[in-house]
Structure 1
Amino acid sequence: MNHEESGNDFQRQALDTWQILRNRLGLIITSTILIFAIAVLITYIMPRKYRGVVEMRIERFADKLPVFSDRDPGRSEVLSEQWMKTEVGTINKSETLYPVIDALGLTKAWKADTRQVALAMIKSNLETQNELRSDIVKIEFYDQDRNRAAEIANAVAESYMHRRVEVEKDQKTEALAKLDKQITEQESLARDARNRRLAAQKEAGILSERNPYGMRLPGMEVGTEEGAMVNARETEELRLRVKLQDIRANLEQLDKLSPDQIVANASGFQLNDTNIVALRTELNRLQIELEGLRNSGLGARHSKVKGVMAQVDTTRNMILQAAESHRSGLRAQMAATEESLKEMEAFNKDSKDEALDKQASHGDYLTISREVENIEETLYKLKQRASEARADIELVKSPATILAPAEPEMTPAKPNVPINLALGGILGLMLGVGLAFGLESLDTTVKSLDDVERSLGVPVLAVIPKDVGVLHRNSGFTPDAEAYRVLRTNIEFNRRNPNANCLTVVSGGAGEGKSTTLTNLAFVCAQGGYNVLLIDGDMRRPRLHTLFDVDNTTGLSSYLTTNMPLEEVVVQTPVENLYFLPSGLLPADSAGILNSQRMSELIEDVKARFDLVLIDSPPILGLSDASVLVNEADLTIIVVQHRKLPRHMLLRVKQSVENVGGKVLGVVLNNVDTRSDSQYQYYTSYYSYYSPTNAAAPAGKSRKKKSKSRKASAETASTPSVVQRVTQAKADSDVSDDLF
């Protein structure tokens, strides 16, 4: 289940992302075209520069001369990649470029004020590239003159090689000077060590540096025989100590055991009696035999039992006697061992002192002899390395090899038109996408049905597509009319009170399609057979009279401010069952006349005369007129233009309606671009599919059925007014059908 939910979330996020890109497609395309055009312009005005390219291989030599190394010093390589990066970086340094500037006279050729300016110019056009894990380096120089580009590139390579040779010579000369200094110091140390060795030789009484056998005296071989004897006696002393500890341990173990334990464990001791094992075996046999006699029922007084018991006692006593003899022997051995150990300790002490005295007499001589040997060995290596260093200085290897010198190119290398244009397009696309998502994140307007229902807690009654005109000006059977039929149906099923037949439509601001929505709703309701009265309650900017081409000189304001009867201000529209009450001349205090007793009486009167009363109103935010009309009407519908009103303002609209006692029936999401917002295509895709393809059917008749007798009397009577006809039809109806 969680996997399915995560999959649905991913799909929803992908669809939202795609929807954002579709909604902001114009911005993305504009940004892409703009940045691409800028890239084209910049590329066009950039100067054409030719490239001079030199390819060379840099040799990796050690920076300093190693003194002690098993490798060939001339082949010593620095394998670090950081070293190669450092060497490539030195090509762009002033030490390399100043000689090029001076040799080619670039300061004068470029009309630079100083050498520093020329250095900055050459650096800005110089590029170096090092191939990965390779010693090959490319030196590229760009200039508007193809010949000068190649000339400067070659000059930079030559300058680097010359500078590198000088650096190598300086480093080796410095290292050689240090070697010579070390050789002088080592020679002085060697002379001093030889003098000290001679003095130590005389002090030790050594007549010659060689022993009687003609061999040079090594370190510890003076007094070897005495040393060996001392080591042997120390080993013997250690053996006696271990033996004494073993004897003491055996005696302590025997002393802790009782006679019965001694008999039971006799075979585990190292006894001198060779028959102890046999005695213990015999004792075990006799004990088993005695146990068998007892188990057979023989008593302790039986002769066989007594005989076996006597043999057991005899054998047991023999074992105890052997153990006691062993204990006595151990005591004797311990005494003898202790005596031997004392004698050996005394003898070893005297021998060790004598050997140490003999060895000490030669210690200083041997130490100084080793020191002389080490100094002479170091001195030999230093002299050998110094000789090699002098040869290296005279034979300095080339620090780099030019593989391909620069030659004048026939086509400019800069600007790179394909790359510049591609980067311009990519950057423009990235900028457009970034702006699209940035604006979308900052956009707090209503974008979806979920936004409306989650913010207001009321249903969305209908989704009106973009660019829907006034329906009664055409046949009325266009696919767009289906959206208003959906609105009519949802109004019918969401209304709870059957007597609530007065509706007003409000919005948060001007231009959200409130008047057009109300007019088209009235049209489809009239088509459905309802007697509909459309009242223009917007006395600020009335618009409904222009949709029906009706004179606005008399209307609602005339009725509310005079005693003019209702029949004189209500007009019948070209649409059957649809009647219209214009706003009339605009009064100075529109809120005052709307919030009057006569207005309340008018609402009650027209509710009784018509099946449906629809009132247009000005925006509710900032104007009090709409609040008055909301209070008078039974139900209120909020019209919200798609992607125009912020969510918090939409919430303010609902709060304004509820604060004056109005009841919000639902929301109409207007002016939705279904071509770009695919999430709304589900709501509108069937409009055209199920729209009629043949001639339109006649409009529906009134939902009220009139009796034949009253219809005949009406035909003979004089022609009544519009309101009288509607009132008479409603009063004479046989079936009291509800509006919804």
Structure 2
Amino acid sequence: MEQSHQPFDLSSARDILTIIFKHKYIILITFLIISAGVTLYAFSLKRVYESQSVLLVKLGREFTSRPEVGGDTGRGFSVPPETIMRAEMSLITSRDLINTVIKTVGQEKIFPVLSKAIPGSISPDDLAINLFQENLSVNNIQGSSMIQIAFTHPDPYIAANVVNTLVDALKIKHLEVFSTDSTPFLKSQEKVFQERLKESETKLASLKQKYGVFSFEEQKTALIQQRSTLDTNLKAAQSQVNELEQKVAMIKNPKWAPEVPPEIRAQLIALQQREREVMGRYIDGTVPVQNVRKEMDAVKESLKKQSEEIRQTEIHKAEGELNMARVRADNARRQLGQVEAALQSLETRALELQGAKREAALQEQNYQNYSRKLEESMIMDDMDRRKMVAITIVEKAVASSLPKQGKANKLVVILMGLFGGIAAGLAIAFLLEFIAPGMTTPWSAERRLNLPVLSAIRRLMISSRVPVDVNPTHDSAKSEMDMEQEMIDLYQTITAALPDTDRRTVLFVGSRSNEGTSTIARQLARVASLRLEKSVLLIDLDRSRPDLHVYSTLKPQADLQDGEGQLGLTLARVEESSLYVMPLFWRTMVTPKTIDYAKRGDFWESLKDQFDLIIVDSPPASMFPDGPAIVSRLDGVILVVEAEKTRWHVALSVKEKILKSGGNILGIVFNKRRLYIPELIYRYL
């Protein structure tokens, strides 16, 4: 079972009804006091009237952003529409505007009671403004750009006059807040930029006249074409120079040989043929051979001279052509440099002229912007003079013929008082139950002690002093029958909780005196003996009030410590029944020696051999340690709790004490329970 210290369960109708019927008089008194007070308050309410006016905020020129320079790009709302609506509502409720309305209508008309007020720390004007704000209501109609203004006053005509005056004052205040005196500034700026524009245009014209250029692009194109032509010519001349230099070097090379003329080549071949023929007829060194060779040497020498002449001629010719090509290349290079210089100068003048054009265009743009701004400002000034604002009256305030707080409102207040009285009474009842230290219902005991309730016994209608053999009277017959049935159920519950043995020992213990522990123990012993025909032994360990014991007249032959060898002498039989008692207190208070003897296992085993059920009536555990001292020798312990009297934290400490002593707690007997819920209702829960 999960432990919870909550005294009640709000999900249980049984717990809720128990609390309600338990504290019904507190709930009733609270309900009567609150409902009566609210009813008196409802009938004391003054009759007031409410006048309303609805305004449409068009989100116009006041809320658009206009850049100081540039065109209309970026024009739009400078703030979100929601912020604009909040700003307008704040403006309506501003103290300055309210003070203006009060002075216009008249403070003595709106709040005549202030003229009789005793001067204090708050001035009459501040007090009037505070009262005005309390009676003023300003709301944004959901999902629209409309504002509803309402004012309550005992006089409906004054209420309507106040609202209309407030709207008129709002328009004037709106113009004061959102209008700007920018026209003089814009005029001065327009004049400044007009002068700057004239200066920049004059400068541009001077530059054009100075350079004599009116089409830089055409000149630039012509120079670029000329530079391209000269560059081509320069490359061609340079290529020719390179070719001629290579040619001169090749001719000057000793390996270069000019082409031999055909007639000399034929003459040389013929002499070579003749030499071979002469060598065939003559020997070497002869005159014919020498003559032929001389002729051949003469031809070769002539050929050599002729070749050298040709070489020199070719060299002079190639060097002449080379010098001419170099001159052409130098001329083309010089002309190209002149064109490059002219083009660079043109670029510099073009940049200067372009800067002048750009400055003139910028000054013209600024002049045009300020001219347009000046025109717009003059238009807005004219609209301000005509009180053209972005606020339109959708519904004008009129005097109402019906009061704001009539019978219907009084009825609502009374009904709220009735429901509030019921709610307050229930809240007090639940609060009292929550802080109460006792436990009202068996279920609250289960939640707080984390133990099952074995039996819930109503307040006993029979006396604990009635002997077991005396029949109950007619008036107490039903109560006795109910008690016997509860005891039978309790015995069966104990039997079910201890199924492993046929002979059981159970200790009943409470946490305080007068909880009914002894009564329950004796009633269970009596019912188990007489009705269930069980042999029962009731051990009276309760020494708190021995004079109240119903069996106080029964005296055994010996005390437990005197009759240690014969337990039968310590028992006293109740008349002719199977019920025996062992009063441990009849001659003296229980001594430590008696408790030590009761702790012995052979003591309980010998008793179990004689009895089916052994019940120990223990004194309150918070006052005497006798019960917890022997719980480890018993089969089970039953904690007795008195409804609404036993403090739950005291009972919880007794439980923990028993568990630390080795006891087996079977559950709780919830004694002296009160059934607050009427039986007619309880039977359906």
Structure 1 residues 414-423 or 154-163, which shifts more? Answer: 414-423
Give the 3 Å change call, closer, same or farther, for CA 431–53 of structure 1 in structure 2.
farther
Structure 1 residues 226 and 429: CA distance shift in structure 2, 3 A: farther
Tell me what 2:91 maps to.
90
Change over 3 Å in CA distance of 1:234–1:382 after alignment to 2: farther
2:139 to 113, 129, 134: 129
- 1:183 aligns to 2:187 (yes or no): yes
2:642 corresponds to 1:639: no
Kindly indicate whether residue 172 of structure 2 is the aligned counterpart of residue 166 of structure 1. Answer: yes
| Paired amino acid for 1:519 | R
Gap change, CA 1:483 and 1:429, over 3 Å in 2: same
**Contact 2:554 2:572 survives alignment (8 Å):** no
Q: Does 1:621 align with 2:615?
A: no
Q: Distance in 2 between matches of 1:412 and 1:557?
A: 89
**Residue 193 of structure 1: which of 197, 212, 220 is its match?**
197
Instruction: Name the SS for the 2:50 alignment partner.
Output: strand
| Cα displacement string for residues 542-571 of structure 1 (whole angstroms, at most 9, x for unaligned residues) | 48645xxx6x466579967999x9899946
CA contact (8 A) 1:466 1:672 kept: yes
Cα deviation, residue 52, structure 1 = 1.6
The answer to whether the Cα contact below 8 Å between 1:536 and 1:615 also exists between their aligned partners in 2 is: yes
1:205 deviates by 0.9
Q: Report what 1:117 is aligned to.
A: 127
- For 2:667, give the aligned amino acid: V
Deviations 1:351-405 (A, max 9, x none): 7525414523522431343134223312431342243134213321364424342
Which residue number in structure 2 is paired with residue 48 of structure 1?
45
* Partner secondary structure for residue 55 of structure 1: strand
Contact preservation (8 Å) 2:34, 2:420:
no
Contact persistence 2:52–2:150 (CA under 8 A): yes
Query: Which letter does structure 2 place at the counterpart of 1:38?
Result: I
- 1:347 & 1:397 partners in 2: Cα distance? 71
For 1:105, give the aligned amino acid. Q
Residues of 2 paired with 1:502 and 1:64: CA distance?
92
SS of 1:132 mapped into structure 2: coil
2:449 matches 1:464: no
Structure showing greater radius of gyration is 2
Name which structure has the greater RCO, CA cutoff 8 Å, separation 6+.
Answer: 2
CA distance in 2, matches of 1:453, 1:115: 63
Contact 1:504 1:615 (8 Å CA) reproduced: yes
Give the Cα–Cα distance (whole angstroms) in 1 for the partners of residues 228 and 577 of structure 2.
135
> Identity of counterpart residues, as a percentage?
14
Structure 2: which 5+ runs fail to align?
A: 1-7, 231-328
Q: Does the C-alpha gap of structure 1 residues 193 and 367 become closer, same or farther in structure 2, counting only changes over 3 Å?
A: same
Task: Provide closer, same or farther for how the CA distance between residues 389 and 490 of structure 1 changes in structure 2, counting only shifts above 3 A.
Answer: closer
Task: State how far apart, in whole Å, the 1-side matches of 2:642 and 2:516 are.
Answer: 10
User: Which whole-Å CA distance do the structure 1 matches of 2:365 and 2:649 have between them?
Assistant: 92
Deviation at 1:619, TM superposition (A): 0.9
Cα offsets for 1:625-652 (capped at 9, x unmatched): 4356658x74442224388767775564
Please report how far the alpha carbon of residue 594 of structure 1 lies from its aligned counterpart in structure 2 after TM superposition: 5.2
2-side partners of 1:161 and 1:637: how far apart? 84
Any idea what SS the aligned residue of 1:509 has? coil
1:418 corresponding residue in structure 2: 412
Aligned to 1:290: none
Closer, same or farther in 2 for the Cα pair 1:620/1:486, shift >3 Å? same
How far did 1:437 drift? Answer: 9.5
Q: CA offset at residue 525 of structure 1?
A: 1.4
Distance in 2, Cα, partners of 1:45 & 1:413: 14
Give the 5 Å matches for 1:567-578: 570=572, 572=574, 576-578=577-579
Identify the residue that residue 225 of structure 1 maps to in structure 2.
Answer: 218
Does the 8 Å contact 2:97/2:166 carry over to 1?
yes
- Length-normalised TM-score, structure 1: 0.57
| Alpha-carbon offset, residue 496 of structure 1 | 8.1
* Structure 2 letter corresponding to 1:101: I
Superposed CA RMSD in Å reads 5.6
Q: The residue matched to 1:63 in structure 2 has which SS?
A: helix
Maintained 8 Å contact 1:532/1:578: yes
SS in 1 for 2:353: helix
Match of 1:518 in 2: 521
Letter in 2 for 1:363: Q
Task: Report the AA paired with residue 55 of structure 1.
Answer: S
Cα distance in 2, alignment partners of residues 352 and 438 from structure 1: 107
Between the aligned partners of 1:236 and 1:19, the Cα distance in structure 2 is 116
The corresponding residue for 1:359 is 350
State the partner residue of 2:236.
none
Distance, in Å, in 1 between the alignment partners of 2:209 and 2:490 is 129
CA contact (8 A) 1:52 1:407 kept: yes
Distance of aligned partners of 1:236 and 1:571 in 2 relative to their CA distance in 1, 3 Å threshold = farther
- What is the CA–CA distance in structure 2 between the aligned matches of 1:98 and 1:619, rounded to whole Å? 77
Distance 1:506 1:347, change over 3 A: farther
Shift of 1:670: 2.3
Q: Of 38, 53, 56, which aligns to 2:34? A: 38
Matched, 1:388 2:382: no
Q: Is the 8 A contact 1:20 1:436 kept in 2?
A: no
Superposed, 1:662-681 pairs within 5 Å as 663-664=663-664, 666-671=666-671
State the secondary structure of the residue aligned to 1:528. Answer: coil
3-state DSSP of counterpart to 1:205? helix
| Alpha-carbon distance, 1:194 to partner | 0.7
Equivalent residues, number: 534
1:508-564 Cα distance to aligned partner (Å, 9 max, x none): 333444223313321331112123343443221348645xxx6x466579967999x
> What is the Cα deviation at residue 28 of structure 1?
9.4
Whole-angstrom distance in 1 between the partners of 2:597 and 2:401 = 98
